[in-house]
Chain A
Amino acid sequence: MRIAVCIAQVPDTATRVQVEGAGIVEGAVSSWIVSPYDEFAVEEALRIKEAGEADVVVFSLGPERAQAAIRTALAMGADSGVHLQDPSFEGLDTLATARALAAALRKQGPFDLILTGQQGVGGDHSQVPGLLAEMLDLPSVTMAVKLELRDGGARVEREIEGAHEHWETTLPAVVSAQKGLNEPRYANLKGIMQAKKKPIARLGASELGLDAAALAPRTRVLELALPASRPQVTMIEGDPATQSRELIRLLHEEAKVL
């Protein structure tokens, strides 16, 4: 079976961001990582491969630095990578990003399963899985916490507000990974060495047949700003009993939330 995993490179979740105009200051990002939800997707693909047989191809759209994210996935055990890179891919909105990924998946396909994280940490749009599925005319199950392939289809468990949903889907399908699906492995030294020899294909806009119209934005960020600072904290003094009584009084009388 062939599995595609779409991953995004994002600023390390522990870093602060600096903003300028409609974006973040890239030079101020101390380190870049594979988006955590995408790591669950890579791990799931590797487990399927280890349980049977699969060819795992990792896709990532981004500038030169995105190579490092692809290498990380290859070091974990993926077989090959596809790097979507083109000057016209910079600052794409979600629809255009999905359109480019869909074109690459079609070109390198067919795939039996397309895995990706439920959300790119950073943009926080949570759109690409659904967009890809619709563009590729495939079924999808998002935010999977359990995935089981059987009888040519898949059974998926998904967490919703106060409940679990059980899904069934035909394959090929797009499945997006939620935290809880698995515990991603760390790449070991052997994996890192092997990853250096694994192939990464580069695809640009012309190879994918994407002209300016196909990549035209449907949404635009006008401005990115740091959040308004919160008011100064009121520290409550006294012994625990006094502090507790005073806090409840303030929450009731001043903040009016109780």
Chain B
Amino acid sequence: MTAAGVVVYAEHRAGELKRPSLEALSEGRRLADALDGRLHGVLVGSGVGGLASELARYGADRVHVFDQPELAHYATESVARALAQVAEAERPAALLVAMTAMGKDLAPRVAARLDAGLVSDCQALELRQGRLVARRSMYSGKAIATCAWESELQIATLRPNVFPLAEPDASRQAEVVKGELDAAARARVTSVEAASAGKVELTEAQVIVSGGRGLKGPENFHLVESLAEALGGAVGASRAVVDAGWKDHQYQVGQTGKTVSPTLYVACGISGAIQHLAGMSSSRVIVAINKDPDAPIFKVANYGILGDVFEVLPKLTEEARAHLASRN
């Protein structure tokens, strides 16, 4: 019998499933249907059993729950053990993990444990003769690779914001299998410190407004922040701005920063150095505002405004507010 099932790791934080994991589940459902296999969700934590019904709504046929008080804080070794246990028991064709900070940490351990191939940060998956083929970017988007697996088990991490989220189906039920785990781990999280509340995380944002050197100084960054707020988006920055100390590195979009794929990316006063383009050119719609008509950012933009960010941004923020107010 060839492997047909798909296993998806379900990441959760503060009692809620993470959207990138729901995207992975949605993709897993699509693949399991095409393979005529079952979709398994894996939940690891303390007091997480209640999330199983939500996994069912997103398509899981069976949910493996490892619910133990010692698992309250994330530890790579214990979660890797849980995933390896499920993979060994269910012998799936594929194991999918969202490429979040946690997924990035976790998936390689599982791959080494199971001696199975791992393709990271996939942007598309398809089936050819019952086997997976992935598309992913390399050189931060300067090239696109088509990859295949040589191992029977195919492990993939999926880039957030790229795979479509399925409509949840409230009538779906899943079989719940309770698992038990050796929770021992030599490295573990001892505490988590949340960043300022209400801030939209860059890699999860649907809208990103980024600022570059064209803003002339950190004191002008509020122009970018106001537009981001008006559009309900996150704030990003170019490397030049981060290296100059105007913004912390966690805001950096580009090759040594974050790779983002929002629905809308607005680049303000960013010339578009190749390493910046690398991190954002998979965005669906790109808007560039720059006063240099030769700025490379216009080559990747869908819409361009040739103008001064100091004049355009306040007007644009006003228009965005008015537009969104008229729709509510």
Most chain A beta carbons < 10 A, residue from B187, B199, B249: B187
Given contacts A127-B108, A233-B298, A248-B319, is CB(A168)–CB(B194) below 8 Å? no
Inter-chain contact A163/B139, CB cutoff 8 Å: no
Residues from chain B with a CB closer than 8 A to the CB of A240 are 307-308, 311-312, 315-316
1/0 per residue, CB under 8 A from A, across B281-302: the answer is: 1101111100000000011111
Inter-chain contact B138/A143, CB cutoff 8 Å: no
Q: Does B191 contact A (CB under 8 A)?
A: yes
Which one of B117, B120, B150, B257 contacts A124 once the chains associate, using CB atoms below 8 Å?
A: B120
* Number of A residues with CB within 8 Å of any CB on chain B: 84
Residue of A nearest to B308 (CB): A240
Residues from chain B with a CB closer than 8 A to the CB of A218 are 111, 115-118, 149-151
Q: Does B85 contact A (CB under 8 A)?
A: no
Residues from chain B with a CB closer than 8 A to the CB of A47 are none
1/0 per residue, CB under 8 A from A, across B70-111: the answer is: 000010110010000000000000000000111011111101
Q: Does A162 contact B (CB under 8 A)?
A: yes
Inter-chain contact B288/A122, CB cutoff 8 Å: no
> B248 to chain A: closest CB distance in Å?
8
Inter-chain contact A219/B118, CB cutoff 8 Å: yes
Residues from chain B with a CB closer than 8 A to the CB of A165 are 74, 189, 191-193
A211 to B187, CA, bound (A): 32
1/0 per residue, CB under 8 A from A, across B188-214: the answer is: 111111110001010110010000000
Q: Does A212 contact B (CB under 8 A)?
A: no
Residues from chain B with a CB closer than 8 A to the CB of A227 are 137, 141-144, 281-282
Residues from chain B with a CB closer than 8 A to the CB of A138 are 186
Inter-chain contact B304/A126, CB cutoff 8 Å: no
> A189 to chain B: closest CB distance in Å?
24
A167 to B149, CA, bound (A): 33
Q: Does B46 contact A (CB under 8 A)?
A: no
Inter-chain contact A221/B76, CB cutoff 8 Å: no
> Chain B's interface: helix, strand, loop or mixed, by majority?
mixed
Q: Does B238 contact A (CB under 8 A)?
A: no
Given contacts A167-B187, A170-B186, A170-B187, is CB(A134)–CB(B112) below 8 Å? yes
Given contacts A218-B150, A219-B117, is CB(A159)–CB(B101) below 8 Å? yes
> B116 to chain A: closest CB distance in Å?
6
> A226 to chain B: closest CB distance in Å?
6
Residue of B nearest to A169 (CB): B187
Residues from chain B with a CB closer than 8 A to the CB of A14 are 273-275
Which one of A122, A129, A160, A221 contacts B101 once the chains associate, using CB atoms below 8 Å?
A: A160
Residues from chain A with a CB closer than 8 A to the CB of B109 are 130-131, 133-134, 140
Given contacts A167-B190, A169-B186, A230-B281, is CB(A223)–CB(B146) below 8 Å? yes
A247 to B195, CA, bound (A): 32
1/0 per residue, CB under 8 A from A, across B242-270: the answer is: 00000011101001110000011000000
> A242 to chain B: closest CB distance in Å?
9
Q: Which of A16-24, A57-65, A104-112, A193-201 contacts B (4 or more CB under 8 A)?
A: A16-24
Residues from chain B with a CB closer than 8 A to the CB of A118 are 104
Q: List 23 A-B contacts (CB under 8 A).
A: A11-B139, A13-B275, A95-B112, A118-B104, A121-B255, A122-B139, A124-B136, A126-B121, A130-B109, A130-B112, A134-B113, A135-B112, A163-B193, A164-B192, A165-B74, A179-B257, A218-B111, A219-B149, A230-B302, A231-B302, A235-B298, A243-B312, A258-B320
Other 18 A-B pairs with CB < 8 A, given A121-B255, A134-B109, A230-B302:
A24-B143, A37-B256, A94-B120, A95-B117, A95-B118, A124-B137, A125-B120, A130-B105, A134-B80, A164-B192, A165-B74, A179-B249, A218-B116, A218-B118, A219-B118, A223-B146, A234-B303, A236-B303
**Top 4 A-B residue pairs of the complex, sorted by shortest distance between their CB atoms:** A130-B108, A218-B117, A139-B186, A169-B187
Which residues of B line the A interface, CB within 8 A?
A: 18, 74, 76-77, 80, 100-102, 104-109, 111-113, 115-121, 133, 136-151, 185-195, 199, 201, 203-204, 207, 231, 248-250, 252, 255-257, 263-264, 273-275, 278, 281-282, 284-288, 298-308, 311-312, 315-316, 318-320, 323-324
